[in-house]
């Protein structure tokens, strides 16, 4: 019995300090991990990050830091942690190869959240499709097309190509082209366009709209009308102007020519 007690005391003297040190590392480490994850969550929420992505990043950070704390605690006990690190590294490498496509989408999702080339509600051209942004997820982005179809685009495809954000600016320019016949009064046609643009209160006065001769086409003189409008008024003004100009040209006897081809038939004498 005395020998057992002596062995326990020797074991306690030898490993007690290490055990206390490991417990201290675990307790303090958990506190530090909790503080860091709270800070990360607040930073992401302040940056208006998507909630699903916020939870994922916070959990990933917590797991990574706790793994580091556990390895540090085992090291304080005298356990050789090099093998643990090697196993974790090998497992991470294998998972990385197996999920490289998903990891690329995840990394792209983080880039979209950090750099914010668009936000929910913006109308964008990205990943080979157009639509309004409904949700930015961890691995993909959900777009809604004008005809109310849902398109799910992988984030890596979005960041790997051009992104056109039609809603990013407060103003947009409408580019319209109207063709008139070569026999029509050019100055009168320009005046009709200028008056039509001036009559629409949605068209901005600064920058001023432009009406000019764009080109002399094969069958028409093409006039460019380029007014500036608020982004939310773009399509309504576009459609209204197209209709009004057509009606006004009809009223003022200004023709809008269409391509024509003259066919000449020649009858050859036979016999």
CA angle, 239 then 240 then 245, to 5°: 105
Is 109 a domain residue? no
Please report, for the domain that includes residue 240, its CATH number.
Answer: 3.30.70.100
Q: Which is nearest to 258 in space by CA: 179, 176, 175, 177?
A: 179
Tell whether 22 and 74 lie within a shared domain: yes
Tell whether 132 and 181 lie within a shared domain: no
Tell whether 31 and 92 lie within a shared domain: yes
| pLDDT above 90: residue 267 | no
H or E, element range at 73: helix 51-76
Contacts of 119 (CB under 8 A, 6+ apart): 48, 133
Tens-place pLDDT, residues 149-172:
999 999 999 998 899 999 999 999
Give the residue with greater pLDDT, 64 vs 261. Answer: 64
Domain boundary among 98, 124, 139: 98
Tell whether 72 and 13 lie within a shared domain: yes
5: three-class secondary structure by DSSP: helix
Residue 73: per-residue pLDDT = 79
- Exposure on the CB side of residue 53, measured as CA atoms within 13 A: 25
- Return the minimum-mean-pLDDT range out of 21-25, 52-56, 255-259: 52-56
pTM above 0.85, yes or no: no
Tell whether 51 and 92 lie within a shared domain: yes
Give the span between the Cα atoms of 105 and 108, in whole angstroms: 5
Total domain count, the chain? 3
Q: Domain of 228?
A: 171-251
Is 106 a domain residue? no
Residue 52: per-residue pLDDT = 61
């Amino acid at each position: 019995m005395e020998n057992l007690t002596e062995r326990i005391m020797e074991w306690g003297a030898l490993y007690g300090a290490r055990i206390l040190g490991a417990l201290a590392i675990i307790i303090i480490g958990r506190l530090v991990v909790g503080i860091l994850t709270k800070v990360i969550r607040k930073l992401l929420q302040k940056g208006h990050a998507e909630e699903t992505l916020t939870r994922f990043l916070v959990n990933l950070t917590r797991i990574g830091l706790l793994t580091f704390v556990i390895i540090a605690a085992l090291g304080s006990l005298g356990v050789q942690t090099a093998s643990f690190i090697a196993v974790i590294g090998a497992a991470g490498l294998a998972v990385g190869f197996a999920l490289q496509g998903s990891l690329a989408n995840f990394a792209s999702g983080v880039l979209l959240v950090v750099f914010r080339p668009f936000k929910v509600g913006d109308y964008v051209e990205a990943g080979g499709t157009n639509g309004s942004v409904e949700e930015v997820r961890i691995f993909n982005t959900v777009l809604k097309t004008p005809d109310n179809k849902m398109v799910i685009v992988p984030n890596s495809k979005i960041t790997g190509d051009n992104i056109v954000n039609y809603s990013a600016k407060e103003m947009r320019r409408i580019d319209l082209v109207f063709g008139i016949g070569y026999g029509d009064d050019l100055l009168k046609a320009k005046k009709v366009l200028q008056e039509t643009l001036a009559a629409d209160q949605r068209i901005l006065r600064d920058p001023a709209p432009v009406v000019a001769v764009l080109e002399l086409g094969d069958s028409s003189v093409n006039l460019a009308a380029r007014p500036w409008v608020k982004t939310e008024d773009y399509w309504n003004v576009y459609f209204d102007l197209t209709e009004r100009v057509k009606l006004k040209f009809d009223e003022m006897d200004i023709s809008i020519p269409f391509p024509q081809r003259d066919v000449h038939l020649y009858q050859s004498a036979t016999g």
